[in-house]
Amino acid sequence: MRRSEEMDLSKRALRGRDLVVFSNDWDGDPLSKVHIMRILSRDNRVLWVNSIGNRAPKANAHDAQRIIKKLKTFTQGIREVEPNLHVLAPLAIPFYGSERVRQANRHLLRLQVLRAMKQLKFERPISWSFLPASAPVSGTLGEDFVVYHCVDEFSAFSDTNGKHIAELEERLLRRADMCITSAERLYENKKRLNPRTVLVRHGTDHAHFVKACDPATKIPEDIAKLPKPIIGFFGLVADWIDQDAIIACAKAHPEGSVVIVGKTTPDCDDSRLRAVPNIHMLGRKPYADLPGYNKAFDVALNPFVINELTLNSNPLKVREYLASGLPVVSSDLPEVRKVGLCRIATTPEDYVKQVNAALADNPGPNRERAEKIFHESWEARVAEIRQHVGEAMLAAGKKL
């Protein structure tokens, strides 16, 4: 295909289509899926189907609150949260338990999605799944094309039934007309089952996070008066976070502060972090406020333990730190090495060493550093996606 034809294809593909998207709950933090679909919704209609789960609910307060929230959002029907972007909160439990329960869920979910498609007058839809749990429904909605967009090794999450998730994902991979992956390790894995697999790495909301370099951006009060230097992290505190590395950095800088912006998952014990006097756990903050918190950071951390889950990950926060102009110290992950621009640490002691080096070398937000990641925008990534989907649809004999 000539260069001019490629450009023409990327301009024509994924425009004027109806997309049925299976993903995380819309109201959560804007992950890669939200950024991608916000751009695609400018010239496509999107029906976003809230999470149908990768795990069975547990008898705890967190899951009880989630169930209550889902019931409330279900009663609201289809919500148009942004122009061309409609959210459906289906009533369904994850596909676990007896075969009878799984079949009942499959029919319930399918009926709800079909009803929403009928209300919105969707035609020749493309179903776009970010979750293996959609496997029993994807491909049964009268779709013109089925996409599986894999951004994690879902079977490696500790709070899921890995065997069931792997089975669901295999089913989805075999059914999908194409698979998009966000990390090279995922690409190598998934193409064994679906040869129509491509690699499109994450982008970044550069215009948002570069505000950390803007003198006009205000630093929030709960971090503004903390002792310097501030070694920062934002995101979920979960079992894939290396707490030893965070604690080591805090103890190496008793005169300063380690700040954690984000909530702790219900199955993660953060008591060791809370026991260190200069570790400040500020909780989850609105996405709009993150540049202000990043502005207060001197160094940003991406402290992941090394396991099958994280080796397949492409941490979005790394690009967001870099877009904020921050020096970054990260665990040794393949996709972080691909990004470059980060200091790599392999042990808690190494984290201390690399943080010290970053503090000695132009700490805090720096616009020149932020511009080095400018080319990795979500706009550029969506242009790649359009190209790949267009090529796959033409190869399958579909009309664009």
Tell me the pLDDT tens digit for each residue of 331-349: 999 999 999 999 999 999 9
Alpha helices in the chain (DSSP H): 3-12, 32-40, 61-75, 99-120, 162-175, 184-190, 206-209, 221-224, 243-252, 271-274, 290-296, 308-311, 316-323, 334-339, 348-359, 367-371, 378-395
How many Cα atoms are found within 13 Å in the side-chain-facing hemisphere of 203?
A: 24
Per-residue pLDDT for the chain (400 aa), expressed as one digit of tens each?
Answer: 555 555 578 778 999 999 999 999 999 889 999 999 999 999 999 999 998 754 454 445 544 454 444 445 444 579 999 999 999 999 865 555 556 666 777 889 999 999 999 999 999 999 999 999 999 999 999 999 999 999 999 999 987 888 889 999 999 999 999 999 999 999 999 999 999 999 999 999 999 999 999 999 999 999 999 999 999 999 999 999 999 999 999 999 999 999 999 999 999 999 999 999 999 999 999 999 999 999 999 999 999 999 999 999 999 999 999 999 999 999 999 999 999 999 999 999 999 999 999 999 999 999 999 999 999 999 999 999 999 999 999 999 998 8
Distances (CA, A) of 151 to 118, 316, 389: 29, 10, 17
- Tracing tokens 């160094």 back to the chain, one arrives at 299
Burial 338-374 (b: 16+ CB within 10 A, else e): ebeebbbbeebebbbebbbebbeeebbbbeebbeebe
The candidate with the shortest Cα–Cα distance to 144, out of 366, 394, 349, is 394
Q: For 72, list phi and psi in degrees, rounded to 5.
A: -65, -45
Task: Return contacts of 217-221, CB within 8 angstroms, 24+ apart.
Answer: 217/291, 217/292, 217/295, 218/292, 219/292, 219/293, 219/295, 219/296, 220/285, 220/289, 220/292, 220/293, 220/296
pTM: 0.91
| Structure tokens that stand for 208 in this block | 């948002």
**Locus of tokens 């190494």:** 350
334: burial class by Cβ within 10 Å (0-12, 13-18, 19+)? middle
Which amino acid, 333?
A: L
* DSSP letter for each residue of 85-154: EEEE------S-S-HHHHHHHHHHHHHHHHHHHHHHT--S-EEEESSGGGTTTTT-S--SEEEEEE-S-G
Q: What local confidence, expressed as pLDDT, does residue 106 receive?
A: 83
